[in-house]
Amino acid sequence: MLNEVKSRFLSGKIFVVAVIAFLMLNSSLFILNSGAQWVQMCNGIENQNVTSMVASGNNIFVGTDSLNLYGNVYISTNNGTNWSKTNFPSQPVWSLAVIGTNILAGTAGGGILYSSNNGNTWNVSSLTGKVICSFTVLGNNIFTGAVEFGVYMSTNYGVNWSIVNFLWHTVYALTTHGNNIFAGNSYIGVFKSNDNGSNWTQTTLDSATVRSFTVIGNNIFAGTIPNFTVNNSGVFLSTNDGTSWSQTSLTNKSVYSLASSGNTIFAGTDSSGVYLSNNNGVNWFQRNQGLNTSSTISSFLITNNYMFAGTYGNSVWRRQLSEIIGIQNISTEIPSKYSLGQNYPNPFNPRTAISLCLPVVSFVSLKVYDVMGREVQTLVNEKLQQGAFEVTFDGSNLNSGVYFYKLVTDGYSETKRMLLVR
């Protein structure tokens, strides 16, 4: 008799929990936290000017400077939740790089220092007394750009440096594609070298001040800012190794930082926050939810399924990469009806794709909930054109278990179940 009573009690309890979960999934009154925004990660680096960021293994390093000519290199071992100073000798840091086991720090007047033990000790390289703006790696060689002193190269992981044949201009940005090195300069645009920097040729993107690069496949993107001779700034694209350049639709913006993940490009501006494009710059969308856009987005870092944005004066901000990338159009055909596809793969660990179809232009909400009906992530919350779309859900920070994803749009709603197995 006692066992029967216990059994009925437990059955009733499970039923009540299930009813509560159902009600929560169908009522916005129970939403606890969307999580669909940038979060400031400044514990230990409050109010810093973050100029650069790199990842080495599970460690993240940021370089800082300030108006009183002090700066440092900070380290986080927990995805930016906490930061602590390394043993870097205090001075402004304008650029960071990783090659082999060495972390390189380019300073505003002290040249380059390097550490082979995660910042516990720092050594002075042979390149001293220079303002260092940028780094790029090509094979086992690393190149650096300096203010008014062109490009230097190191063949031993940043310990010793030699100048390469280049004009005496400030090199704000460097990148590589194939065997080519691209240098972004102040006032004179982009130069290219295909022989490890021995010879350089100017590309057709001239007279521009180039502050950043990123590469997606055969596409090279350059972020520019206005100067005394050219006011047309924004993001430019070359599809033929710099032979010719065209401006994307992101215009009249000062673009200080660029990054890419898959087919998505990100642009950081001086007062408009973060933009992204997943069609090579044809269209751009702002992704500023929760972000303080009053300061320049000076640097990006993508690591451990997160995107980090370094800012002037407002330290570091973090957002889950899959959430900021959002949804991508996967077909130009117009569906005949609304639909929400079953996620694939399912079960999944930790990422899965969710598809949906829209027969007309619609405002779309796609959110993920746990079994208690608590919202754990907003995947989409914007107006979309008609078509077929796909969005990636990343459950890296969630426990194993059942989750639900719910599509709500104009006159249509559907919920499906998925299983995360860790």
Q: Are 287 and 274 in contact (CB under 8 A)?
A: yes
Return the structure tokens found at 251: 């215009």
The string of DSSP codes covering 190-244 is EEEESSTTSS-EE-S--S-EEEEEEEETTEEEEEEE--SS----EEEEESSTTSS
| List of residues 6+ apart from 363 with CB closer than 8 A | 382, 383, 384, 409, 410
Closest CA to 237 of 217, 207, 262: 217
pLDDT at 115: 98
pLDDT at 68: 58
Residue 134 in this model has a pLDDT that exceeds 60: yes
Return the structure tokens found at 69: 């000519």
Residue for token pair 């960071």: 96
Closest CA to 258 of 276, 279, 278, 245: 276
Q: Are 280 and 303 in contact (CB under 8 A)?
A: no
Q: How far apart are the C-alpha atoms of 200 and 105, rounded to whole Å? A: 25
pTM of the entire structure? Answer: 0.76
Tens digits of residue pLDDT in 65-96 = 976 568 999 999 999 999 999 999 999 999 99
Positions of E strands within 130-208: 132-138, 141-146, 150-154, 162-163, 171-177, 180-185, 189-193, 201-202
Which has the minimum average pLDDT: 143-147, 260-264, 270-274, 406-410?
A: 260-264
Share of the chain above pLDDT 70, in %: 90
- Ramachandran area for residue 243 (φ above 0: left; ψ -120 to 50: alpha; else beta): alpha
| Domains of the chain in sequence order | 39-325 (2.130.10.10), 326-420 (2.60.40.1930)
Q: Please count the other Cβ atoms lying within 10 Å of the Cβ belonging to residue 341.
A: 16
Residue 4 in this model has a pLDDT that exceeds 60: no
pLDDT at 333: 85
Give whole-number Cα distances, 17 to 314, 371, 373, 376, 405, in Å: 43, 9, 10, 18, 18
CA atoms within 13 A on the CB side of 289: 17
Return the structure tokens found at 213: 């690069």
Tens digits of residue pLDDT in 392-409 = 888 877 999 999 999 999
Helix, strand or coil for residue 25? helix
Q: How confident is the model at residue 189 (pLDDT cuts 50, 70, 90)?
A: very high
Q: How confident is the model at residue 27 (pLDDT cuts 50, 70, 90)?
A: very low
Give whole-number Cα distances, 230 to 184, 233, 296, 393, in Å: 15, 8, 20, 42
pLDDT at 67: 61
pLDDT at 13: 44
Q: Please count the other Cβ atoms lying within 10 Å of the Cβ belonging to residue 141.
A: 17
Residue 310 in this model has a pLDDT that exceeds 50: yes
Q: How far apart are the C-alpha atoms of 338 and 215, rounded to whole Å? A: 36
Cis check: omega of the bond before 345, within 30 degrees of 0: yes
Residue for token pair 């082979």: 116
pLDDT at 263: 81
Q: How far apart are the C-alpha atoms of 413 and 405, rounded to whole Å? A: 11
The string of DSSP codes covering 70-110 is ---EEEESSTTSS-EE-SPPSS-EEEEEEETTEEEEEEBSS
Q: How confident is the model at residue 22 (pLDDT cuts 50, 70, 90)?
A: very low
Tens digits of residue pLDDT in 313-359 = 899 999 988 778 877 777 768 999 999 999 999 999 988 999 999 99
Q: Which long-range contacts (CB under 8 A, 24 or more apart) does 158-161 make?
A: 158/97, 158/99, 158/102, 158/104, 158/112, 158/114, 158/125, 159/102, 159/114, 159/123, 159/125, 159/126, 160/125, 160/126, 161/112, 161/125, 161/126, 161/127
Q: How far apart are the C-alpha atoms of 47 and 66, rounded to whole Å? A: 10
Higher pLDDT, 322 or 378: 378
Ordered strands of the 401-409 beta sheet: 375-384, 362-370, 401-409, 412-420
Q: Are 370 and 377 in contact (CB under 8 A)?
A: no
Q: How confident is the model at residue 214 (pLDDT cuts 50, 70, 90)?
A: very high
Q: Are 366 and 409 in contact (CB under 8 A)?
A: no
pLDDT at 37: 86
Ordered strands of the 201-202 beta sheet: 171-177, 180-185, 189-193, 201-202
Return the structure tokens found at 381: 């919350």
